[in-house]
Amino acid sequence: LGVNAYAFIVTNNGYVLVHPDLRPVFQGILKPSYNSVDMTDVELMDDGQGPHNFSRKLLEFREKLVQGNITSSISLPMKQHFDNMKRVMRGTRFYYYKPIVDSPFTLVVSLPDHYGRFQVDAVVETHLLKSSKGKLNFFEGKSWKVHPDWFYCKYRMDTEETQSFSSPEDEIEHFFAKTQSAGWNWPTRYQHDIQSNASAASKSDKPGSKNKPYYCDRTLFLSLVFDAKVTSWFNKNVSAASAEDKGNEFKQRFGLTLVFLATRSGLTRWQDFPYSSTRDEGASNLHFKDIHNKAIDEVWYKRAVEQNYEDPERFVYSVPFNSGILGSEVLDRNETLVTAANAIFVENGDKKAPAAVVGFQFQHSALHNLFINITHSCPTTIGGNCKPTQTCGSDSFECYVLDSNAYIILSENKEHTGYFFGEVRGYVMEQLVAENVYRRVHIYDYQGVCFISENQGSSRSNSLKNPLHYLSW
C-alpha cells in the first residue's frame, strides 16, 4: 500500500478484527477487551474534541462500515501516532472501503493525502535478464536486508519440495535465481490441493492443473528486483576516499559511521565507515541492520516522506529517546548516534510518489562539538557588535536544537539528549506553543491499561483496568 498507508477490517459490530494499532496484549497479558476494540478507538479524528466525544462524520463513517453493503470512499482529517505515542502525524486521510463477500466484515484501505494516492510502478522481468556470465545477481554481498515481515516468494508447507532458509535474504536469492530458469511461471496465491468432491479431484488430475510447490507476490518481487538493480552501485565501497576527496573531511568532522538506503519494495542497503578511534569497541549497541530493516515501516522513513514532500531539501534528524539518561560519559564514548534521513520522490508532472529514503548515521559527540563551537562564538557576519555575553556561552542563555516533535537533538548539557523539551524547560515549551512554533496535539489511548491494586480480604491482587474507566463525562 505504500508508506504511511495501511488496511484494516471492521466487523458488523464496529469492532476491528485487524488493524495496525490493535494492541491486544499488555505486558504479556491478554487484555480483557482485546476482541471489542471499536474502530473509533483506533481511527483518531483530528478535530480537537475530548475523549469519547466522537465527530459526527466519524460515526457516520463507522455506520456505513457496520452496514456491510456499501462500497465507497471518504476523506477525513486524522491523527496517526507512532514511536509509542511520542510522535504524531496529522493530515487528511482517504478511506476506501468495500464489504468482504460472504462475511460480516468490511475491508478498509487508508491512504495519506498527496503522495499516498500515487505509487512508483517499476519492475524488472527476471526471465528477460541475460548475461554472458550466466544468471545475474543484484543481491551480492551481505550488506542488504529485505523486510522480514513481508511475503515475496515462499514454498508451500504441504509439498515435498519445501525448503527452509536461514534468513529472508537467502530465500530471496534462491527464488531470484529460480525466476531466471527455464519453465518458471508465477503462481500468484496459495492454492490448496484438498478437493471437496470427486469431480473436483478429477479436474485436478488433468495435465497442467497441478499446483506449484511455491507461491509469490509477483509485483512485489519484481519491484524488489528493480530496486536491487538500480541500487546495485551501492555495493561499491563508497567509504573509500582519496586524500583529496572533500567527503573525507566531512566524514572525519562529523564522525560518520554508516550510510543507508531503503526503498519502497522493502530493500535496505548500508555501508559501514571505520569507527572513530575514540569509540568504545566494547559497546553492546545493536547494528543498524538489526534494528532498522523494515524500510517503509521505519519511523525515519515515514517522517522523511511526510516532511520532504513539501520540502525536498530537508534532512530529518533523530536521536534515541532519553539517551541522555546514560550520562555524558557514555555520550562522550560516541555510543549515541544521530540518524539523518531524506526522501526521494519520482515526479511525473504534478504527481509525486515516494521511491526511497537515503540517510546516514554519525556520532552525536561530533555534532555536539560543532554546536558548541558555533553557538559559543560571535558570528563573523555581524562584525564587532557581538559580545561574549551575547552568545550561548553566557550564563544568560541556554541553547537547544529540537526536532519537529520538540525532542532535544542538541543541548549544552548532553544529558538532555533525546528528552522531550517540555520535560526540561516546561515554561519555554508553553511559550513555543503560544507562539505557534509547536502545536499541542492530544492523543487518547483507548486501549491503554494500568494495574489497579484491590484489597480482597488479607490478600492483594492486581486487576487490569482501562484508565478511561475512571474518567467521568
Domain ranges of the chain: 6-112, 232-277+287-387, 388-446
pLDDT in tens, 227-283: 988 888 887 766 555 445 655 666 667 778 889 999 999 999 998 886 544 444 444
Rg (CA), the chain: 27
- What pLDDT, on a 0 to 100 scale, did the predictor assign at position 266? 92
pLDDT in tens, 391-439: 787 778 888 999 989 999 998 888 899 999 999 999 999 999 999 999 9
CA 396 to chain centroid: 40
Same fold, 6-112 and 232-277+287-387: yes
Whole-number Å distance between alpha carbons of 75 and 94 = 4
Residue 38 CB burial class (10 angstroms; 0-12, 13-18, ≥19): middle
- What pLDDT, on a 0 to 100 scale, did the predictor assign at position 349? 85
Low-confidence ranges of the chain (pLDDT < 50): 132-134, 192-209, 242-243, 276-283, 456-473
- What pLDDT, on a 0 to 100 scale, did the predictor assign at position 380? 63
- What pLDDT, on a 0 to 100 scale, did the predictor assign at position 383? 55
- Assign domain 232-277+287-387 to its CATH architecture: 2-Layer Sandwich (3.30)
User: Following DSSP, what letter does each residue of 31-76 receive, concatenated?
Assistant: -TTTT--BHHHHSEE-S---TT---HHHHHHHHHHHH----EEEEE
Residue 219 in contact with residue 123, Cβ under 8 Å?
yes
19 Cβ partners below 8 Å, 6+ apart?
6, 8, 9, 37, 39, 42
- What pLDDT, on a 0 to 100 scale, did the predictor assign at position 274? 66
Residue 76 in contact with residue 90, Cβ under 8 Å?
no
CA 228 to chain centroid: 20
- Assign domain 6-112 to its CATH architecture: 2-Layer Sandwich (3.30)
Whole-number Å distance between alpha carbons of 10 and 316 = 35
Residue 63 CB burial class (10 angstroms; 0-12, 13-18, ≥19): exposed
- What pLDDT, on a 0 to 100 scale, did the predictor assign at position 215? 85
- What pLDDT, on a 0 to 100 scale, did the predictor assign at position 348? 85
* Cell numbers standing for residue 112: 495519506
pTM score: 0.82
| C-alpha pair distances (Å), 152 with each of 4, 6, 214, 222, 387 | 20, 18, 11, 9, 62
Query: Could you tell me how many helices (H) and strands (E) the chain has, helices first?
Result: 12, 20
Residue 440 in contact with residue 433, Cβ under 8 Å?
yes
* Cell numbers standing for residue 395: 550564563
- What pLDDT, on a 0 to 100 scale, did the predictor assign at position 287? 85
- What pLDDT, on a 0 to 100 scale, did the predictor assign at position 127? 58
Residue recorded with cell 529472508: 168
| C-alpha pair distances (Å), 116 with each of 95, 112, 279, 300, 352 | 11, 5, 41, 17, 9
109 Cβ partners below 8 Å, 6+ apart?
1, 5, 6, 7, 95, 96, 97
